[in-house]
Amino acid sequence: MNPQDITARPGENAIFIIFGLKNPKKARGPVKDLCGKLPALTRSLKNRFPELGISAVMGFGAEAYEGLFPKRAKPKELEVFQEIKGKKHVAVSTPGDLFFHLRAGRLDVIVELATQISSALSQVAHPIDETHGFRYLDSRAIIGFVDGTENPERDEALTAAAIGEEDPEFAGGSYAMTQKYLHDLTAWSKLPVEEQEKVIGRHKYDDQELSDEEKPTNAHNVVTNISSEDGRELKIVRANIAFANPAKGEHGTYFIGYAGSFSTTKKMLENMFIGDPPGNSDRLLEYSRAISGTLFFIPSWDLLATLAEE
């Protein structure tokens, strides 16, 4: 399958970059060039700094994929993310053509990689968003709770994150849903710890799950726990990371969920923003606001090389 680094841990530092293409047809050459060069650029840094856990992921929005590779079939579930609107909360949809997720134990190393990527695309793309994330304390979200607790491990992680034989041409690829959330830390900090725990569904200090009797039906870990029709729990792989601009009063979480099926992530978001039943939306959204939302297809390394050669 040879997937990109879709199951790597969030890391100490991360950079997320979303570009818009000025003209997909004119961008084909430089983008295909970068598809071929990115593995070598990343490998060079890994050889120089083997201890830093460097990884890079490259992906495409639906419209960009169609414009860049018009003769190729499209992954079955690749689409432009549509806004999800509940009674109180909205998962907004924002534009994006190319996506990069860079991780390492030191920020300067991935800044170097981001600089090379941006230089390669400077004539054909414009930046839509660049977010620098960091490991907050002991892998906690900036609201103080451990993040990624529900992530599957090892082989189960790859099964959850990668497209399988149900779409064989794209096996080893993944659907990456990205969202930026801003948190109202002033309101959040006024909540007693016991109430915060009911919002999340876990104890704050030891990360233990609340009992079924203690957990409200709109707790975050309840509404995001979904199952298939046969009762099998459906998982995605999250690589969420904190970001902040304290001088502006901005504190947030960059959510990224890698999944072999976008319908799994979509159902989680519908449960959060609309509720199941409708109205039972995620209580965490009373303190967190989504300011972006874009879906990308992450090809396997093999497919990325094929796209480079076409």
How far apart are the C-alpha atoms of 11 and 135, rounded to whole Å?
Answer: 7
* Per-residue confidence (pLDDT) for residue 231, from 0 to 100: 75
pLDDT digits (tens, 9 = 90+) for 169-223: 999 999 999 999 999 999 999 999 999 999 999 999 999 999 989 999 999 999 9
Q: Residue 217 burial by CB count (10 A; 0-12/13-18/19+): exposed, middle or buried? A: exposed
Structure tokens at 148: 């990624």
**Closest C-alpha among 271, 236, 272, 275 to residue 257:** 236
> Any idea what the Cα angle at residue 142 is, between residues 137 and 144, rounded to 5°?
75
| Encoded amino acid at 95, one letter | P
Locus of tokens 């090892």: 154
- Is the residue at 2 inside a domain? no
Residue 262 forms part of a structural domain: yes
What share of residues in the chain are helix, strand, coil (percent, to 5)?
35, 25, 40
Which residues on neighbouring strands pair with residue 13, listed in sequence order?
A: 104, 134
Peptide bond into 277 cis (omega under 30): yes
Retrieve residue 81's tokens: 């993310």
Active site residue 147: yes
Higher pLDDT, 276 or 227: 276
Residue 194 has a pLDDT of 96
The residue annotated as part of the active site, out of 147, 184, 206, 230, is 147
Residue 222 lies in a domain: yes
pLDDT of residue 227: 84
pLDDT tens digits for range 8-66:
989 999 999 999 999 999 999 999 999 999 999 999 999 999 999 999 999 999 999 99
286 belongs to a structural domain: yes
Does residue 304 contact residue 4 with C-beta atoms inside 8 Å? yes
In a domain, 189, yes or no: yes
Domain count, the chain: 1
Predicted confidence (pLDDT) at residue 119 exceeds the cutoff of 80: yes
Does the structure show a pLDDT above 80 at 1?
no
pLDDT for 222-248, tens place per residue? 999 998 777 788 999 999 999 999 999
Structural domain containing residue 153: 13-309
Look at residue 8 and tell me if it is in a domain.
no
- Percent of the chain clearing pLDDT 90 (strictly above): 92
Say if residue 159's pLDDT is above 80: yes
Please state the pTM of the whole predicted model: 0.96
Q: Model confidence at 166, in pLDDT bands (50, 70, 90)?
A: very high
Phi-psi bin for 32: left (phi > 0), alpha (psi -120 to 50), beta? alpha
7 falls within a domain: no
In-domain check, residue 1: no
Average pLDDT, the chain: 95
pLDDT number for residue 131: 98
Locate 74 and state its tokens.
Answer: 């499209």
- What does the pLDDT look like over 96-113, one tens digit per residue? 999 999 999 999 999 999
Q: Is the predicted pLDDT of residue 155 greater than 80, yes or no?
A: yes
